[in-house]
Amino acid sequence: MRKICVGILFGGCSAEYCVSINSAKGIVGAINKNIFKVVLFGINRYGTWYVLNSIDEFVYKNNFENNNIFHFDNIQKGVVLFPGFPRKFMKINDIVCFYQLDIVFPVTHGMLGEDGTLQGFLQILGVPYVGSGVLSSAICMNKNMTKCFLRDIGLMVSPSFSLSYSELNNISFDSVVKRIGLPFLVKPVNQGSSLGISKVISQNNFYQSLVNAFNFDSEILLERFIHGMEITCAVLGNKNNLCISFCGEIVLLSDDFYSYNIKYIDNKNVKIIIPARINDNINNRIQDICEKIFLSLNFYEMIRVDLFLTADEEIVINEINTLPGFSADSLYPKLWKKSNLSYTDLITRVIKLALERFYGRDSKKFSF
């Protein structure tokens, strides 16, 4: 049997560009080379696609503060994508088709990669891909829409309201406190990885927190801060065959919310405990909630659900990640490693699930 040709798609115009690169590096290093042939497609910050021989072809400096870490210029020619079977890709200057892809594995975290935009583009082209579809991806990228969905299926979320940039001068600190209490979080509506999030504890940092969030999005969310244990749980599978991971506990050793800085820059101040220090009853409740979420919005292959457990044992859903971080050190692979599913086998599993979903019975033509 021939190897399955997988296009790893990474980079993009999102503020989570660097996170995407690390996910791609992890997958390329761990994927089973006996089963898969890998083709790398990098997207620069301006949206230009490149085909690469290796991720290390471009400059990499391990500093997440630098906006120019990754350079695709003068590496390879751009590519053209042709819709429909057999899903050919072509170098612009060569006028020669190359690579027949069986499936794309996007790790394009954030806007234009995780919000349904890319998923719709791949569907128009008829290219199979790993991960959830247009609707579920779009809803979960938007924090306000996510809350509406979760409330509609009877789950608890933190009280909040959204604010557009045009309303900035009409909002006051006192009106927010009256509505959702203090402290509260200010978040960009359409960002992941905790980018642009601030905790407001007094009027002193109120306005600057709004400005900071608006630097990332034209709409922001003001949300009551939840005091409680921060829990994360992974789901793997499709409708008829779901697996739910052990719950993981996120313990912050310094700050009191899981910020971008703690996640990716100064991660010495966080400890991940798997399984979480909760009793079996609570663990089962959380797993049941994660299954309900997955089935209610028709997710595909994988999601990670982040939530809070309060002192009163209330479960408050924080967010749903349709393309969770996928480096070896990311939460999603760590949760499955504790369930004896290795990083390499996890990669194989999500690709196999996506092929089965797209090809149905014809997926048996692929060798695993």
Q: In this structure, what are the phi and psi dihedrals at residue 195, rounded to the nearest 5 degrees?
A: -65, 135
Q: Tell me what pLDDT residue 210 has.
A: 94
Residues with catalytic function: 16, 193, 330
What is the CATH number for 207?
3.30.1490.20
Q: Is 301 annotated as a binding residue?
A: no
Claim to verify: residue 47 and residue 112 sit in the same structural domain:
yes
Residue 368 lies in a domain: no
Which residues, at least 6 apart from 297, have a Cβ–Cβ distance to it below 8 Å?
Answer: 135, 136, 139, 140, 149
What is the CATH number for 78?
3.40.50.20
Residue 275 lies in a domain: yes
Q: Of 224, 253, 275, at which residue does a domain stop?
A: 224
Claim to verify: residue 118 and residue 40 sit in the same structural domain:
yes
C-alpha 333/C-alpha 342 separation (Å) is 8
User: Which residue has better confidence, 283 or 268?
Assistant: 283
C-alpha 149/C-alpha 140 separation (Å) is 9
Claim to verify: residue 142 and residue 88 sit in the same structural domain:
no
**Looking at residues 221-226, what average pLDDT do you find?**
96
User: Which residue has better confidence, 341 or 92?
Assistant: 341
Q: Tell me what pLDDT residue 65 has.
A: 41
**Looking at residues 10-30, what average pLDDT do you find?**
89
What is the CATH number for 264?
3.30.470.20
How many domains are there within the chain? 3
The answer to whether 264 touches 270, Cβ cutoff 8 Å, is no
Of the pLDDT bands very low, low, confident and very high (cuts 50, 70, 90), residue 84 is low
Claim to verify: residue 220 and residue 240 sit in the same structural domain:
no
The whole domain housing 185 covers 160-224
Claim to verify: residue 246 and residue 184 sit in the same structural domain:
no
Q: Tell me what pLDDT residue 195 has.
A: 79
Claim to verify: residue 63 and residue 25 sit in the same structural domain:
yes
Residue 250 lies in a domain: yes
Q: Of 184, 206, 224, at which residue does a domain stop?
A: 224
Residue 125 lies in a domain: yes
Q: Is 321 annotated as a binding residue?
A: yes
Q: Of 224, 246, 275, at which residue does a domain stop?
A: 224
Q: Tell me what pLDDT residue 63 has.
A: 39
C-alpha 168/C-alpha 159 separation (Å) is 20
Claim to verify: residue 292 and residue 280 sit in the same structural domain:
yes
Q: Is 306 annotated as a binding residue?
A: yes
CA angle 231, 242, 362 (to 5 degrees): 140
Most confident of 65-74, 131-140, 253-262: 131-140
Residue 345 lies in a domain: no
pTM for the predicted model, two decimal places: 0.86
**Looking at residues 258-269, what average pLDDT do you find?**
60
Claim to verify: residue 15 and residue 88 sit in the same structural domain:
yes
Q: Tell me what pLDDT residue 190 has.
A: 85
Q: Tell me what pLDDT residue 68 has.
A: 42
Helix (H) or strand (E) holding 28: helix 17-30
Helix (H) or strand (E) holding 308: strand 301-309
- pLDDT tens readout for residues 168-222: 888 999 999 999 999 999 999 987 657 788 999 999 999 999 999 999 889 999 9
Claim to verify: residue 185 and residue 58 sit in the same structural domain:
no
Of 191, 212, 339, 350, which is closest to residue 263 (Cα–Cα)?
191
Residue 366 lies in a domain: no
Claim to verify: residue 150 and residue 294 sit in the same structural domain:
yes
Residue 77 lies in a domain: yes
Residue 340 lies in a domain: no
Claim to verify: residue 101 and residue 215 sit in the same structural domain:
no
Is the pLDDT reported for residue 72 higher than 90?
Answer: no
Of the pLDDT bands very low, low, confident and very high (cuts 50, 70, 90), residue 130 is very high
The answer to whether 237 touches 230, Cβ cutoff 8 Å, is no
**Looking at residues 227-232, what average pLDDT do you find?**
96
Claim to verify: residue 236 and residue 210 sit in the same structural domain:
no
